[in-house]
Chains A and B, each alone.
Chain A
Amino acid sequence: MIRKERSKIPVKTLLLGQGTCCISAGAEQVYTALKREIAQLGMADSVQVKRTGLCHGFCQLDPVVIIEPEGLLYSEVKVDDVPEIARSFLPGERLVERLFYHSPVTGEAIPRYRDIAFYQRQQRTVLKNCGYIDPEEIDDYLTNGGYQALRQVLLEMTPEQVIKQVKDSGLRGLGGAGFPTGRKWESCYQAAENEKYVVCNADEGDPGAFQDRSILEGDPHSVLEGMIIAGYAVGAAQGYIYVRAEYPLAVKRLRSAIVQAREEGFLGEDIFGSGFGFDIEIFPGAGAFVCGESTALVLSIEGKRGMPKPLPRPRTTEVGLWNKPTLLNNVKTFAAIRWIINKGADWFSSIGTKKSKGTAIFSLTGKTVNCGLIEVPMGITLREIIFGIGGGIPDNKKFKAVQTGGPSGGVLPESLLDTAIDFDSLTAAGSMMGSGGMVVVDEETCMVDLARYFLDFTQKESCGQCSLCRLGSLQMLEILTAITKGEGRMADIDLLIELGEGIKIGSLCGLGQSAPNPVLSTIRYFRAEYEAHILMQQCPAKRCKALISYYIVPDKCTGCTACQRQCPVNAITGDRKKIHVIDQNKCTRCGICLSVCPERFSAVESVPGRLVSGD
């Protein structure tokens, strides 16, 4: 296939990410302004301003401008900065140093993004093209090796060979459960039916995870290519992508990618003249976390309530969509396929650990200095991710725990920071890989409240058919809520464990079976915090309103009346220039006094536990 050549090769390329995060930070406006400004300066031929689907994952610095070939990075660029940036490309002009990323440790400017700690320890494999290519231009994907794996598969390989290669690579499902991908493909391939389907699970429902969205926004063709290859391998002619409706940009880019792939003949009849035909449709999910479960997802596409089918039942690879054998994989799994074909199974299996091959993609968020989308080899430790890539905890706060696997996972405390990450080690520690959310929490997060937060989520997202999940998550939520309100009993902790274990064993689907994990793991590692809530009536993290107090430090209060005027319940007494006092009986712990107390005084403090007036 001959691609059209660009008439002039630009000297410099400016990459501007246009993902959901980037756009919300103003990347669109910066792009337009930069393009205009460069044109006005007559440099349109030498300086190319290029939109990419995504930033380089360091979402927190958005909008980011990357300058290639040097690999320079400007962070938090505003429209006002654009003229200066544009002028800097004129002969003899200097780079805009103030926009470089500055090390939070030393304060020095780091011009090249490769030198930034956030990128140094990453191994971007599946995400390689994210942030480099324009997802709405298939040409860009093609010049970066796109659809070569498909070509190779269709023209040179048998389905059996493709499956063998995927099996040999050791790839495991990156949607959470970690089922060996090759075995799944084989099982679907062996199913004796003419009609089969390939379904891509892009129903990324885990709160705190956005890797699937990022890949769909940044490199949608890689997912399509993986699906077409899968279709060839298992013998399916139709694929569906089940994508959350909350991801409008991802849906839009997928749609345009599908249209372009059809125009170029990568989708449709007789692809590459191989006789193999395949097409893909998008199914926008309507919002149900449980539809991440395979049978629920299938029911949802069929237009039914997504209530998972209880075991024992046939596997989806045997009886799936419209009762036909169906291969269901996650976005990341499909996106990894082209690289396995291109670079070989050995290359892939050389990355990672003995049982978990390849890379893991995480959404690193929460209380870390650097947040964003990261890709690391399996086997890296949590410490390397959080303190290396993530840069540690901001504002001199103390690391408390890291939550992985979303509502199905658990928390891991400091003592487990040197755990090497893979599917099995995380599960053994009481958490799980899940779909790759990684939320770091510091001393200001209450672990009881965090467990309560997740149970509130599962309780709302439970499909409702199974008594253990529906009523069990509700019961656990009620108990946790009581504890955060200071109404807990000491027996509650053991009761939570007992309930949790029973619900794990007996629930109908993966949602219920993993719903107790956040509770069990917080009790396992932070039992003292539960006990403080119950016995001492204190929330050590000062999060649970009912178990904290606000207090005006007499030595610091200057009597400015700021808090007194703002207090909604008139709980603060004290005249101008006189020390103010909070009436603890009236106080509703709304925290307004703390936020309005001028910083130079900082007289209002929150303390764990309930003070009695007169203390």
Chain B
Amino acid sequence: MERVRDILTGYTGKRHELVPILQEIQTELGYLPEEALVMIATFTGIPESEAFAIATFYSQFRLTPTGRNRVMVCRGTACHVKGAPQILEEIENYLNIKEGETTPDLEFTLESVACIGCCALAPCIMVNNKDVHGRLTPKRVRGIFSDSKGKEQDTS
């Protein structure tokens, strides 16, 4: 929780900093542990229950640890009509987890997201909040994962 304390020193404790604080701590820790929520509540002067209430309201926040790679399947309309459900199913089968879960080796977390705004490339997924893969087919999905798994092993 040292790291949380460090992050908090960058803020003044005003109420409207709450969401940015939660975002920064999640970026640092990958999720929002209970102790962090309590510390943030004390820091911003809000009840603990409200820190939890806010963390569970916004879909960006997670209360459990995530995998090293965060896979977000877009469930926007364009993606839906172009086969996003099949893409999600394929990834679920490949990683052997359901949406919202993390692989036991903490390698991948699978989530769905309302829309990543790349509708012209539908269906698409976003990995680690930066790499967008578009025009997917169930077959291409496996390619993406075997690539990134390979890369992980190379660097380790």
Asked if residues B61 and A286 are in contact (CB atoms below 8 Å), the reply is yes
Evaluate whether A23 and B132 lie within 8 angstroms (CB atoms) in the complex, with A207-B77, A303-B16, A371-B120 already known: yes
Q: Does B141 contact A (CB under 8 A)?
A: no
Evaluate whether A24 and B114 lie within 8 angstroms (CB atoms) in the complex, with A286-B22, A403-B77 already known: no
Evaluate whether A207 and B82 lie within 8 angstroms (CB atoms) in the complex, with A302-B16, A305-B53 already known: no
Interface size class of A (residues with CB under 8 A): 35 or more
**How distant is the Cα of A22 from the Cα of B90 in the complex, in angstroms?**
25
Q: Does B81 contact A (CB under 8 A)?
A: yes
Instruction: Give residues 107-156 of B contacting A (CB, 8 Å).
Output: 113-122, 124, 126, 129-134, 138
Asked if residues A363 and B119 are in contact (CB atoms below 8 Å), the reply is yes
**How distant is the Cα of A366 from the Cα of B122 in the complex, in angstroms?**
8
**How distant is the Cα of A450 from the Cα of B77 in the complex, in angstroms?**
9
Q: Does B80 contact A (CB under 8 A)?
A: yes
Residue of A nearest to B112 (CB): A460
B131 cross-chain contacts in A, Cβ below 8 A: 24
Asked if residues B23 and A24 are in contact (CB atoms below 8 Å), the reply is no
Q: Which of A34-42, A145-153, A208-216 contacts B (4 or more CB under 8 A)?
A: A208-216
Asked if residues B22 and A445 are in contact (CB atoms below 8 Å), the reply is no
Asked if residues A20 and B78 are in contact (CB atoms below 8 Å), the reply is no
Asked if residues A303 and B121 are in contact (CB atoms below 8 Å), the reply is no
Interface string of B40-63 (1 = CB under 8 A from A): 000010100000011001111100
B121 cross-chain contacts in A, Cβ below 8 A: 21, 24-25, 59-60, 62
Asked if residues B120 and A372 are in contact (CB atoms below 8 Å), the reply is yes
Least CB distance from B143 to A in Å reads 15
Evaluate whether A21 and B134 lie within 8 angstroms (CB atoms) in the complex, with A245-B23, A245-B60 already known: yes
Q: Does A439 contact B (CB under 8 A)?
A: yes
Asked if residues B122 and A365 are in contact (CB atoms below 8 Å), the reply is yes
B81 cross-chain contacts in A, Cβ below 8 A: 366-367, 439, 441, 445, 450
Asked if residues B120 and A59 are in contact (CB atoms below 8 Å), the reply is yes
**Max chain A C-beta neighbours (<10 A), residue from B119, B124, B138:** B119
Asked if residues B116 and A246 are in contact (CB atoms below 8 Å), the reply is yes
Asked if residues B114 and A287 are in contact (CB atoms below 8 Å), the reply is yes
Instruction: Give residues 204-233 of A contacting B (CB, 8 Å).
Output: 204-210, 213-214
Instruction: Give residues 37-89 of A contacting B (CB, 8 Å).
Output: 59-60, 62
Q: Does A201 contact B (CB under 8 A)?
A: no
Least CB distance from B75 to A in Å reads 7
**How distant is the Cα of A286 from the Cα of B79 in the complex, in angstroms?**
22
A366 cross-chain contacts in B, Cβ below 8 A: 77-78, 81-82, 119, 122
Asked if residues A365 and B119 are in contact (CB atoms below 8 Å), the reply is yes
Partner of A300, one of B19, B119, B129, B138: B19
Asked if residues B77 and A303 are in contact (CB atoms below 8 Å), the reply is no
Partner of A208, one of B20, B46, B115, B134: B115
Asked if residues B23 and A303 are in contact (CB atoms below 8 Å), the reply is no
Question: Considering only CB atoms and an 8 Å cut-off, how many residues of chain B contact the other chain?
Answer: 45
Evaluate whether A204 and B117 lie within 8 angstroms (CB atoms) in the complex, with A24-B131, A453-B77 already known: yes
Asked if residues A437 and B117 are in contact (CB atoms below 8 Å), the reply is no
**How distant is the Cα of A90 from the Cα of B66 in the complex, in angstroms?**
52
Q: Does A301 contact B (CB under 8 A)?
A: yes
Instruction: Give residues 264-318 of A contacting B (CB, 8 Å).
Output: 283-289, 300-306
Least CB distance from A34 to B in Å reads 21
B75 cross-chain contacts in A, Cβ below 8 A: 207, 457
A453 cross-chain contacts in B, Cβ below 8 A: 77, 80
A441 cross-chain contacts in B, Cβ below 8 A: 81
Least CB distance from B70 to A in Å reads 12
A247 cross-chain contacts in B, Cβ below 8 A: 117
Interface string of A400-414 (1 = CB under 8 A from B): 000100100000000
Partner of B19, one of A24, A60, A62, A303: A303
Q: Does A574 contact B (CB under 8 A)?
A: no
Asked if residues B115 and A206 are in contact (CB atoms below 8 Å), the reply is yes
Residue of A nearest to B121 (CB): A21
Asked if residues B78 and A208 are in contact (CB atoms below 8 Å), the reply is yes
Residue of A nearest to B114 (CB): A207
Q: Does A461 contact B (CB under 8 A)?
A: yes
**How distant is the Cα of A365 from the Cα of B81 in the complex, in angstroms?**
10
**How distant is the Cα of A364 from the Cα of B77 in the complex, in angstroms?**
11
Partner of B118, one of A21, A248, A437, A450: A21
**How distant is the Cα of A245 from the Cα of B113 in the complex, in angstroms?**
11
Q: Does B17 contact A (CB under 8 A)?
A: yes
Evaluate whether A286 and B23 lie within 8 angstroms (CB atoms) in the complex, with A60-B120, A209-B117, A371-B119 already known: yes
**How distant is the Cα of A60 from the Cα of B135 in the complex, in angstroms?**
9
Residue of B nearest to A282 (CB): B20
Partner of B17, one of A21, A303, A439: A303
B58 cross-chain contacts in A, Cβ below 8 A: 285-288, 306
Instruction: Give residues 438-491 of A contacting B (CB, 8 Å).
Output: 439, 441, 445, 450, 453-454, 457, 461, 463
Interface residues of A (CB under 8 A from B): 20-21, 23-25, 59-60, 62, 204-210, 213-214, 245-248, 283-289, 300-306, 363-367, 371-373, 403, 406, 437, 439, 441, 445, 450, 453-454, 457, 461, 463, 595
The 6 A-B pairs at the shortest CB distance, nearest first, are namely A59-B120, A24-B132, A208-B77, A286-B58, A303-B18, A210-B117
Selected A-B contacts with CB under 8 Å, 19 pairs: A21-B120, A24-B134, A60-B120, A205-B115, A207-B76, A209-B117, A210-B118, A210-B120, A248-B129, A285-B19, A286-B19, A286-B58, A303-B44, A303-B46, A303-B54, A437-B78, A445-B81, A450-B81, A461-B114
Beyond the given A204-B115, A205-B114, A209-B119, could you list 17 further A-B residue pairs with CB under 8 A, ordered by the A residue number?
A21-B118, A23-B132, A206-B115, A207-B114, A207-B115, A246-B114, A285-B58, A286-B19, A286-B22, A286-B58, A303-B16, A303-B54, A364-B120, A367-B81, A437-B119, A439-B78, A454-B77
